[in-house]
Structures are given as structure tokens and as C-alpha cells.
Amino acid sequence: MKPNRDQQLKIFEIFHSLQGESHFVGLPTVFVRLTGCPLRCTWCDTEYAFFGGQWMTFDDIIKQVKQHNTPYVCVTGGEPLAQKRVFPLMDRLVAEGLTVSLETAGSLSVEKVNPAVHKVLDLKAPGSGEVSKNLYENLALLTPKDQVKFVIADEADYLWSKQTMDKYKLNEQCQILMSPVADVLPAKQLAEWILADQLNVRFQIQLHKHLWGDIPGT
């Protein structure tokens, strides 16, 4: 008997690593990376996941996640929300008692995301080339446990991020993350801008890249 397609997703990889970003940074986490993304950001570091992968049932995904004996699981991509069946998968993961985070670009609605999931919404600054794809209606759906991430390539991106924070009063809703584009904007420069402007944000760098470099699946 063929598996029910309603209980399958196209998965690029499932791997165990340290969370490199967000307020779970440093925690051993299982990453479930879905294949595919509708965006083409100039600085994307997961282009390898745009295509390929294999169809997996929810049961098989959860079985692999549990093999790593950690309560933390991150659903990522690509853009995981591009596959609509990701919503019931996240429901299943939550029902299993796991702490689930979702990394999403913010161009697709998060309305159906299980309220127990920690959303990390990556708003696209102008330097990404995809600023027009931001779905700002998502911001009203954020809760204090969620996060908005700005990936910043230059001063124009930084100023845009500050203006966006103020316009939507994001600090009143959730935690704000700011990251430099690796090998484009020096991390020290972004840190100095944040301190000079006394921004109430969390500066972050990609821990996994400092540990393992640009190796997929780490």
C-alpha cells in the first residue's frame, strides 16, 4: 500500500547539531530541513536545498528526530511553509512533547502555525533583493516567544531594519535579532551600530559557521 501523500513531506535532510541562532543558540537540536524555497535572496546560504531531497512520512520524520534524544527540533528550509503539509507535521511534533521552532522567511502566512511553535521570522532587508516579498500581516501574529530576524548586508539594511522596528513597534511584540551577512558586513561594525543607537535587540552571529564553516548539514 502506498503511503498517504497527506502524511508526507519532501525532506532535504534531517541532522543533529547545535542551534546556531535564535534564543535557543547553543542547544543541541534536530533540524528538519524541507526542500524548496520561492525566494532567491542574494546572500542565501542554503541554495543547495532548493531542489532534491526525498519524500518522507510524518512517522519516519518523527522517528529520526527522536533518535537524537534532544527535546529541541527546528523546522527549516529553504522555506518550510512552501509545503503546506508542514503545518500538521509541526502539530505532530508539538504533540510529541518536543520544543519546536520554525525558521521562515516571512513571505508566507504564519496564521496556521501551531501556537506552541516558536516562530523565527526573517524579514528581508533591501540588500536581500527580496524586500518586496515581505508579508507584513505576519507581524500582527507574533507573540512574546517569537522572534524577528534582520540579516544585514550594509548600512542601508541596518537603517531600514531600525525604521521597520519602529514602524511596527516590534519590540513591544517579540525579541528582535540582528545578524551580519557572513563575509559581507563585518560583525564588529554591526555590533558598533547597535551599541551607538542603544537598540534593544539581540546581536547574533551564526555559531555553526564558526564551528564547522559552510558545510551543509551542520
Whether 57 is covered by a domain: the verdict is: yes
Annotated binding site: 18-20, 33, 37, 41, 43-46, 76, 78
Closest CA to 150 of 140, 142, 141, 163: 163
Q: What is the mean pLDDT of residues 128-152?
A: 96
- For residue 119, being part of any structural domain is answered with yes
pLDDT given at position 214: 63
Annotated binding site for [4Fe-4S] cluster: 37, 41, 44
The DSSP code for 64 is: H
C-beta atoms surrounding 196 within 10 Å: 8
**What is the pLDDT, as a whole number, of residue 98?**
98
pLDDT tier at 106, thresholds 50, 70, 90: confident
Once rounded to an integer, what is the mean pLDDT over residues 196-205?
Answer: 96
Residue 114 has pLDDT above 60, yes or no: yes
CB 174, CB 145: distance < 8 Å: yes
For residue 214, being part of any structural domain is answered with no
Report which secondary-structure segment, H or E, holds 33.
strand 28-34
Residue pointed to by grid coordinates 516567544: 145
Q: Whole-number mean pLDDT of the chain?
A: 92
Closest C-alpha among 46, 45, 16, 44 to residue 31: 16
For residue 29, the enclosing domain spans 8-205
The stretch 57-62 carries a mean pLDDT of 97
Task: State the Cα–Cα distance between residues 28 and 70, nearest whole angstrom.
Answer: 7
| Domain of residue 12, CATH code | 3.20.20.70
Beta bridge partners of 32: 14, 75
Which grid coordinates belong to 76?
527549516
The reply to whether 2 falls in a domain is: no
**218 in any annotated domain:** no
Measure the CA–CA gap between 51 and 70, rounded to whole angstroms.
28
> What pTM does this model have?
0.92
Question: Residue 210 pLDDT > 90, yes or no?
Answer: no
Q: pLDDT value at position 2?
A: 56
Residue 3 lies in a domain: no
CA distance 29 to 25: 9
User: Domain for residue 211, yes or no?
Assistant: no
Query: Binding site for S-adenosyl-L-methionine: residue ranges?
Result: 43-45, 78
The number of C-alpha atoms within 13 Å of 1 and in the hemisphere containing its C-beta is: 3
State which H helix or E strand residue 150 sits in: strand 147-152
Q: Annotated binding residues for substrate, as ranges?
A: 18-20, 33, 76
Percentage of residues in the chain having pLDDT higher than 70: 94
User: How many domains would you assign to the chain?
Assistant: 1
Annotated binding-site residue numbers for Mg(2+): 46
Q: Does 164 fall in a domain?
A: yes
- Specify the pLDDT at position 216: 52
Angstrom distance (rounded) from CA 88 to CA 12: 18
